[in-house]
Amino acid sequence: MMIQSLQNGFTLDNHYLRDLKGPVPVPTQYAPSLGVHRGSCPVEPHKDQEIQRHRSAQAAPLLGSCCVQTPAPMDVQMCQSIQPCHADHQGDLSAGQLLKWMDTIACLAAERHAGMACVTLSMDDIQFEETGRVGQVITIKSKVNRAFTTSMEVGIRVSVQDVREHVERLVCVAYSTFVGKPAGPQKVLLRPVEDLCSAEEQLQHSLASERRRLRLYNEQTFSTLLQDYHTLANGNYSSPGVCSRRDPLSAVSTEFTRVESIELVLPPHANHHGNTFGGQIMAWMENAATVAASRLCGCFPSLRSVDMFRFRGPSSVGDRLVFKAVVNNTFNNSIEVGVRVEAYNCEEWTANKPRHINSAFLIYQLANTPGDVPAFPQVTYTTQDGERRYLSAIVRKRIRMARKHILSCKEEAPLSVPWDKSNQVYLGYNNVAALTVLAGKQDWEASSISDRVAVYVHEEVELLCVQVQMEVMSSALHAFTLLADLTLRPLWDKHYL
């Protein structure tokens, strides 16, 4: 068995237990094992870069009011003082309220560029870095990054300021897609974004095209990965972490977490176009998902990230919206909840003919939970649909892991330490110590199993470990002889250069 941690550049080198903070290009031979398929689903290298850029300034004191920068002409900015009505029972800013503000400010930026009414198509996955509390000030800035033929991407940056400490911290970065709302049946053609003055604007303009490709090819790549995980689930693999059905005697059925809630769309829930406000729908979805997660863990977990909100169709005042939430799967320290939204008008309500208008997947964590201690009970499925949701959650987690640890970091250290006689003793000791620590880790998850080679991954807070196993028909003495002599490596490692 060979166990090595993932390093910057995906090199299997001598450094094993180091935080991943560098830009990591994925070699072609390793990309499929982590859910990254080249040419079919380009993974966005943007979000963690954006977060890292702002983290460096999080603890910097704010300047006086006389030095506050005025937003650029195409920027739209909102400042809100967090009141008790905006918070949950613990005094934290409600995630649903924040989503409503974010959708509002993004829509205003889109309409400012398009010069007409706009509607939300999607909001890309969001990672919450901070939580606002009552008395703090939330600042939300949005700007159109790029306009395509009929759609445009709006970048959103949310920060929170404690006025007593004069410190501003990043809450999250998100990207929404909008289209113009035409007066007739024809689509609206948008003008391109011009006057890209700063390097950051030019970067976001370029990355917007890659994020758009990700959205367009997301379903195709997801289906491919899901087929791979069906193969893993149906295989007879005894190694730890393989995605297989949990023991029903020790696991909680996901059916226990099902939540169904109905809302009647009233005039205050509509936007200025007369349709149901997208931010309000997202807030209702977050509420249903939180209840489902709370049923499983017996407490109130915190929302940490959201997979893409996708608006499949409109709804209007008078519609009945039914929100269906259920826990799909649990991992070491997180839980995924899926939410489906169905809409009915009066006639559809009587005939029981729903319209599927939205869906999303929300990720929850418990506060101050150690990374090695499972925070949530294990779950199992009891239906065929439950199995599909269970495996789909693993696929989505692998895609998120690939974004976070491979394509979205900055290089702050060398990729490896060159070997020479002066440091060979230290490197040997470091390798043995790292392998010993990694061998003791539990909850490895299967990423790829084919041609007698199995790849498993183990994720912690900012560390991703990779375990590679290969079955060989050889005696222990012969195997040791081959592994001990580096000059013999080309005989058994076809990838060795």
Q: Clarify whether residues 190 and 92 are in a common domain.
A: yes
Please check whether residue 368 lies inside any domain of the structure: yes
Closest C-alpha among 195, 179, 197 to residue 187 = 179
Beta strands in 265-330 (DSSP E): 302-306, 309-311, 320-330
Q: Clarify whether residues 102 and 177 are in a common domain.
A: yes
End position of a domain, from candidates 380, 395, 419: 380
For the chain, how big is the Rg over CA atoms in Å? 24
End position of a domain, from candidates 361, 380, 399: 380
Residue owning tokens 């997202």: 282
Q: Clarify whether residues 360 and 250 are in a common domain.
A: yes
Q: What are phi and psi of 414, to 5 degrees?
A: -60, 155
Report which secondary-structure segment, H or E, holds 105: helix 95-114
Please check whether residue 287 lies inside any domain of the structure: yes
Q: Clarify whether residues 70 and 138 are in a common domain.
A: yes
Q: Clarify whether residues 287 and 373 are in a common domain.
A: yes
Q: Is 137 exposed, middle or buried (0-12, 13-18, 19+ CB in 10 A)?
A: middle
- CA 191/CA 217 separation, integer angstroms: 24
Q: Clarify whether residues 253 and 372 are in a common domain.
A: yes
- For residue 203 the two structure tokens come to 């970067």
CB 448 within 8 A of CB 33: yes
Q: Clarify whether residues 71 and 181 are in a common domain.
A: yes
Q: Clarify whether residues 91 and 159 are in a common domain.
A: yes
Helix boundaries (H) for 115-158: none
- For residue 365 the two structure tokens come to 């964590």
pLDDT at position 279? 93
CB 3 within 8 A of CB 438: yes
Please check whether residue 264 lies inside any domain of the structure: yes
pLDDT at position 402? 67
Return the C-alpha torsion angle 180, 186, 187, 190, nearest 10.
-80
pLDDT at position 32? 41
CB 361 within 8 A of CB 396: yes
The DSSP line for 226-254 is HHHHHHHHHS---STT---PPPTTTSEEG
β-pairing, 252-253 vs 320-330, is: unpaired
Please check whether residue 294 lies inside any domain of the structure: yes
Q: Clarify whether residues 373 and 304 are in a common domain.
A: yes
End position of a domain, from candidates 380, 413, 447: 380
Q: Is 153 exposed, middle or buried (0-12, 13-18, 19+ CB in 10 A)?
A: buried
pLDDT at position 414? 55
- Which amino acid is residue 270, in one-letter code? A
Please check whether residue 408 lies inside any domain of the structure: no
- CA 188/CA 184 separation, integer angstroms: 9
Q: What are phi and psi of 433, to 5 degrees?
A: -65, -45
Q: Clarify whether residues 255 and 361 are in a common domain.
A: yes
- CA 173/CA 160 separation, integer angstroms: 12
Please check whether residue 410 lies inside any domain of the structure: no
The SS3 assignment for 112 reads helix
Q: In which region does residue 400 sit, left (phi positive, over 0), alpha (psi from -120 to 50) or beta (all else)?
A: alpha
- CA 310/CA 121 separation, integer angstroms: 6
Q: How many helices (H) does the chain have, and how many strands (E)?
A: 9, 18
- Domain extent, residue 177, equals 57-195
**Partner residues linked to 343 by β-bridges:** 321, 355
Low-confidence ranges of the chain (pLDDT < 70): 1-73, 218, 221, 228-249, 368-375, 402-416, 461-462, 497
Q: Structurally, how many domains does the chain consist of? A: 2
Please check whether residue 495 lies inside any domain of the structure: no
Q: Clarify whether residues 287 and 353 are in a common domain.
A: yes
Please check whether residue 73 lies inside any domain of the structure: yes
Q: End-to-end distance of the chain based on CA atoms, in angstroms?
A: 21
Q: Clarify whether residues 268 and 334 are in a common domain.
A: yes
CATH number at residue 319: 3.10.129.10
